[in-house]
Chain A
Amino acid sequence: MKVTVCIGSSCHLKGSRQVVEQLQYKLAENNLKDKVELGGTFCMGKCQQGVCVTVDGKFFSVTPESVNDFFKTEILEKLA
């Protein structure tokens, strides 16, 4: 599974750093580091909906507040 987080200007201001760090933490906590590849990318062209995240190409709009729910439903449950 490949998860990509936008680290462009807009998403950065909307908290992409917190999203990345929380995902890194969650992946480590659940021992999923070798199953999920976490990467960064610059602008996806959907700045209004930032923080922009894709999971295997599928687009999601995530915020630092919703990142835990996102991790649960879109990563943890999909892998189970």
Chain B
Amino acid sequence: MNNLCADIGYKSINHYGEQLCGDHIDVLEQDENFTVIVLADGLGSGVKASILSTLTSKIISTMMADGLSVEDCVETIAATLPICSVRGVAYSTFTIIQLINNEMAELIQYDNPHIILIRNGKNYDYPKTEIIIGGKKIFRSSIKLLENDVFVAMSDGCPHAGIGVGYNFGWERDDIIIFMEALANAGYTAKTLSTYLIDEVNRLYGKQPGDDATACVVKIRRREPMNILFGPPSNRDDCNTMMSLFFSKEGKHIICGGTTSTIAAKYLRRPLRASLDFENSDIPPIAKIEGVDLVTEGVITVNRVLEYAQDHINENNKYEKWSRGKDGASLICQLLFEEATDINFYVGRAMNPAHQNPNLPINFSIKMKLVEELSKCLKQMGKHIKVSYF
């Protein structure tokens, strides 16, 4: 076991006028040591393609996770997929990335554009072995993982972007490589990298994609623990226990909540300095305590963080807002979404009597709900979450 982990993010756009995407991505994380990612591109577009790709990716990920061989998977798919009445074939291309012990990546590629691997900011031409299974030409590679490796898997909708509109032959793989090389080491999350790639594809298509296009980015990074304290404990006597547990943990420390940070400042015997800088935002200003990486207000800030988190796992439209913002909510987002891989929540269940006022949009149950929803979103981003209540 090493201290690496994988950040996985993807985004798709649909063929212009279609409501369903004909590409499908399935990520199956069996445990911390084995992850399968399958990107399948169904023949054609719309419903038929969507069914083909969903079946393909689901079958492969399930079989692979059970330890079956590629040969078995390919045979099963060939025998299972419904045959297209127009074209007389059952067909879906696929790209498989298996991550083993966070040490090795096994790539299996069939008819999709080849995975781009960016290592140390430069394109890395990894070795491939060609094998034939059931008449299908399949490429296999085994790669030892290094920190900062970025794998970019795509459906052919990406390199076809702009055919006839901006480019004669579409957005060629070499040009995509140059595009991704520039972004790979800038500290973006996998989700954001895939969003940038797909946004560019969409732009090249003139916002009317001629094919479904999907990008899946796997970024190998060092594990980064993060601790977040939210709310005072329900029993005053537990303050010291909560604080000593929180501060003894490795990684950065974030404190949310006015009363909570006052308690923490007392525990650390350091002054709490609140700033008055609103940073052009409707979020309350942050504060500073020596020894704490970030101190913010509580419910209002965390509520905004949740809003950004829900957007980040779906459309990722509000990315520009939080990625450069200096307000409390944006700063928490940058730490939790981009930096952290393992997040420990320390949640206090104390009730603030001032919040139990029907005129205020904050109360105890909302606070608990926030934590639940936020940890759900963070899990979907692939983070390892632990929540402790006090």
> A residues bordering B, Cβ < 8 Å?
5-10, 12-13, 16-17, 20-21, 24, 38-43, 47-48
B109 contacts chain A at the CB level, 8 A cutoff: no
B residues in contact with A40, CB < 8 Å: 274-276, 285, 287
A42:B272 contact, CB within 8 angstroms: yes
B259:A12 contact, CB within 8 angstroms: no
Known: A12-B284, A20-B278, A40-B274. A7 touches B360 (CB 8 A): no
A7:B274 contact, CB within 8 angstroms: yes
Listed A/B pairs (26) with beta-carbon separation below 8 Å: A6-B258, A7-B276, A7-B285, A8-B259, A8-B297, A9-B284, A9-B297, A9-B299, A9-B352, A10-B355, A10-B360, A12-B297, A17-B284, A20-B278, A24-B276, A39-B273, A39-B274, A39-B276, A40-B274, A40-B287, A41-B272, A42-B272, A42-B287, A47-B352, A47-B355, A48-B357
B300 contacts chain A at the CB level, 8 A cutoff: yes
* Candidate in A5, A8, A10 with the most chain B CB atoms within 10 angstroms: A8
Known: A39-B274, A42-B287, A42-B297. 9 other contacts (CB 8 A): A7-B258, A7-B274, A7-B276, A8-B297, A9-B284, A40-B285, A42-B261, A42-B262, A48-B357
B282 contacts chain A at the CB level, 8 A cutoff: yes
B297:A7 contact, CB within 8 angstroms: yes
B residues in contact with A12, CB < 8 Å: 284, 297, 300
> B residues bordering A, Cβ < 8 Å?
257-259, 261-262, 272-276, 278, 282, 284-285, 287, 297-300, 352-355, 357, 360-362
B residues in contact with A39, CB < 8 Å: 273-274, 276
Q: Measured between C-beta atoms, what is the minimum distance from A10 to chain B in Å? A: 5
B276:A43 contact, CB within 8 angstroms: no
Q: Measured between C-beta atoms, what is the minimum distance from B294 to chain A in Å? A: 14
Q: Measured between C-beta atoms, what is the minimum distance from A11 to chain B in Å? A: 9
A41 to B357: give the CA distance in the assembly, Å: 22
Q: Measured between C-beta atoms, what is the minimum distance from B379 to chain A in Å? A: 26
A residues in contact with B300, CB < 8 Å: 9, 12-13
A42:B258 contact, CB within 8 angstroms: yes
B residues in contact with A5, CB < 8 Å: 276
A residues in contact with B257, CB < 8 Å: 9
A38 to B277: give the CA distance in the assembly, Å: 11
A21 to B278: give the CA distance in the assembly, Å: 9
Closest to A43 in B: B258
B residues in contact with A48, CB < 8 Å: 354, 357
